[in-house]
Structure 1
């Protein structure tokens, strides 16, 4: 009995149903622990910015009206206000107070004279008994007024934004100590096959390095997931089942290999009653599997996506389906039909290549430098070419490091001709 052949959209529907079944709650973490996470909700300022009126310069706080007529002017210095001073200071007419950058402006003061415009030397520890003002500033000079940058309740960051150092600094500066962030789905990566060997291990005839394990780990992390374990098993169902039973809890299992029609397809033999296996009208990566299986000592039913074993199939299928599933599970994307469709830009083929008619082709491509464009090209047009002359064949793993996107060729085309327009999917991360 042959597997059914599904369209790419029919397969996407199965992936999305799987993702919708495992929507994860937000995490609430101390702001300092949120680096690299994504914000779960819109963020508003809890406090005004700055939170109090303060000095923008090292100098002397005073009342501008005290600098009438021709200078210089001499004023007694009645207090010294460092940054971080929590005392209440009140400035009376005819007085000055030495003040440091960021220190609260005393009541009654409305202007700060820079230390460079006085007879007081910068960097002197002891405040003077009096100060001579040599340059009269404008009213309000060198004063940062409470809330002038941002009022309390103002929007600061949008849900979904990446919390890098700059974004976290903004969140903390407006009063947030904890943040609601999108969860990172826990992913179990499983590579199968007795022919697989660890990186750098000597190869005998028929053996290959396991590049899929690290490929999937990197793709998962770039897509916002967190790999909790990377299992490598042989070709017996007992070995794979035992590995899954002993694995840590996960939100998603991704397997690579063992799902074709051969006699030793270990994933298919092990999960045959848990997952549905079928062909998708695409190239590469026709064989696919989607379902759920018990994982861990508690036997927790866990969604599983089964990918072919060829690395280019793993690479393209992950970008076309799995990355979107992780985005839905984490809450980055709203769960609705088509939610896992990846973002794309339009580009044109710099050269021609073959495409399997009747199947959607996913081909790793790179962008061609605009310097190579022909005269008469439209401004802003982007051009692409395959990263390898052999196109989208499944074994071309070494060329993937040069990929900048995945070209999508519709099934009605048996070939791509130079200048033809096609969608190019952005790579995760």
Structure 2
């Protein structure tokens, strides 16, 4: 039976997920460890930077009015001021000071002429120069407080801490910052057919979901913990899930569809997890269940390896970013063009694994040869997911497409 019409659209499902996620409590981290996190509080500037007007160029500090007439203008040089030094003389009308980048602007000067626009006076030594170019007041000057003014907002709550933002904090003498703590994420695989990679298979297959999801969690900023592999029984699934107390997020893989031994959804309900969605109108990844108990988010991901990675990318990663205090959490989308042809029945949005490369000013996306969700080869080498819309049935070569850059690649 075609039940696509009763399934949740991808964007609505993600909106429900994000409504369940709020930033976690704050911890203080040294700035060296805070890269990529977000601020949990507003930060006010403690210092005015720069603390004085200073030169943006190597050149000569002048009074702009002295250069308003015909050029060149010959001026005596009173002194040289280096970065880290202090001017000793005032620039009076008809004088100038040689100055280096970053040095404080002398009293009386209001502009800097670049060194390249100044000519030494023959036989005048270093005491006189000819100024070849007029400047306006403030030209080539970095004004006091341009970067920050004491007591004003430096960085707002929720600001992602990249390298420039951390530089702003260091410049203020701030060595640590409050950030939402990293989510603790428990990961459970289910299935009688599974074994760990360090075990002899003996007719089983190696569980790649748990270690792959753990890497994805770590890359998203969380702290993963592997719970193990539960057997396909209610008791085993329940016993393993009982170990998930104290985590912020719990991820399970497999056991969430309608199979005879798919017990995860049933066990989650039995332990008090309130279900907020089940099954999304996407391929791969339709049998997704999301719920909450207390402050803990539960994601029942599909068991097929590629399906678990795709649903992580579309739903879990945005939730982890929200827990980390980010506001821009939806998967990024970039325009591209299809290199090939695609067709499907309408009803489900397909997220096609593609490799994308720039050519002639466009990002061309070529679908991988296999899209089977049960094998990891259908995800290996992919750089983007191509969003093949729910209502669409065909795409032709060169058609504009929407691409989602993947976080799981190299």
Same fold judged by TM-score > 0.5? yes
Contact 2:354 2:383 in 1 (8 A): yes
Distance in 2 separating the partners of 1:58 and 1:370: 42
Cα displacement (A) at 1:307: 0.7
Contact 2:29 2:178 in 1 (8 A): yes
Deviations for 1:370-422, whole angstroms, at most 9, x for unmatched residues? 26xxxxxxxx544322123x23x212313423212111223334x53423746
Pick closer, same or farther for the CA change 1:247–1:177 going to 2, 3 Å.
same
**2:354 aligns to what?**
365
Secondary structure of the equivalent of 2:35?
coil
Pick closer, same or farther for the CA change 1:214–1:7 going to 2, 3 Å.
farther
Equivalent positions of 1:36-47 (< 5 A) are 36-39=36-39, 45-47=45-47
Contact 1:409 1:422 in 2 (8 A): no
**1:355 aligns to what?**
344
**1:234 aligns to what?**
230
Residue 288 (1) aligns with residue 288 (2): yes
Contact 1:349 1:416 in 2 (8 A): no
Deviations for 1:228-273, whole angstroms, at most 9, x for unmatched residues? 4122222144444333333462222121112223343342353243
Q: Aligned Cα RMSD in Å?
A: 5.1
Cα displacement (A) at 1:308: 0.6
Distance in 2 separating the partners of 1:167 and 1:301: 31
Cα displacement (A) at 1:23: 1.2
Deviations for 1:148-170, whole angstroms, at most 9, x for unmatched residues? 64351777667655423333113
**1:427 aligns to what?**
405
Equivalent positions of 1:381-392 (< 5 A) are 381-388=362-369, 390-391=370-371
Equivalent positions of 1:257-276 (< 5 A) are 257-273=254-270, 274-275=272-273, 276=275
**1:196 aligns to what?**
194
**1:307 aligns to what?**
301
Contact 1:189 1:227 in 2 (8 A): no
Secondary structure of the equivalent of 2:380?
helix
Residue 218 (1) aligns with residue 215 (2): yes
* Unpaired segments ≥5 residues, structure 2: 62-73, 93-98, 116-125
Distance in 2 separating the partners of 1:26 and 1:84: 42
Residue 147 (1) aligns with residue 171 (2): no
Contact 2:255 2:265 in 1 (8 A): yes
**1:124 aligns to what?**
none
Pick closer, same or farther for the CA change 1:53–1:354 going to 2, 3 Å.
closer
Pick closer, same or farther for the CA change 1:316–1:145 going to 2, 3 Å.
closer
Pick closer, same or farther for the CA change 1:231–1:425 going to 2, 3 Å.
farther
Contact 1:6 1:280 in 2 (8 A): no
Equivalent positions of 1:11-410 (< 5 A) are 13=12, 16-25=15-24, 27=26, 28-39=28-39, 45-52=45-52, 147=144, 149-150=146-147, 152=149, 162-174=160-172, 176-199=174-197, 201=198, 203-204=200-201, 206-222=203-219, 224-235=220-231, 236-247=233-244, 249-273=246-270, 274-275=272-273, 276=275, 278-293=278-293, 302-333=296-327, 342-370=331-359, 380-388=361-369, 390-391=370-371, 393-410=372-389
Distance in 1 separating the partners of 2:380 and 2:268: 32
Contact 1:361 1:410 in 2 (8 A): yes
Pick closer, same or farther for the CA change 1:146–1:15 going to 2, 3 Å.
closer
Distance in 1 separating the partners of 2:337 and 2:3: 33
Deviations for 1:337-365, whole angstroms, at most 9, x for unmatched residues? xxx75332343322123424322212111
Contact 2:186 2:251 in 1 (8 A): yes
* TM-score normalised according to structure 2 size: 0.69
* Unpaired segments ≥5 residues, structure 1: 62-70, 94-98, 115-131, 294-299, 335-339, 372-379
Contact 1:196 1:210 in 2 (8 A): yes
Pick closer, same or farther for the CA change 1:418–1:91 going to 2, 3 Å.
closer
Contact 1:12 1:321 in 2 (8 A): no
Distance in 2 separating the partners of 1:24 and 1:74: 59
Contact 2:56 2:142 in 1 (8 A): no
Distance in 2 separating the partners of 1:164 and 1:92: 41
Number of corresponding residues: 389
* TM-score normalised according to structure 1 size: 0.67
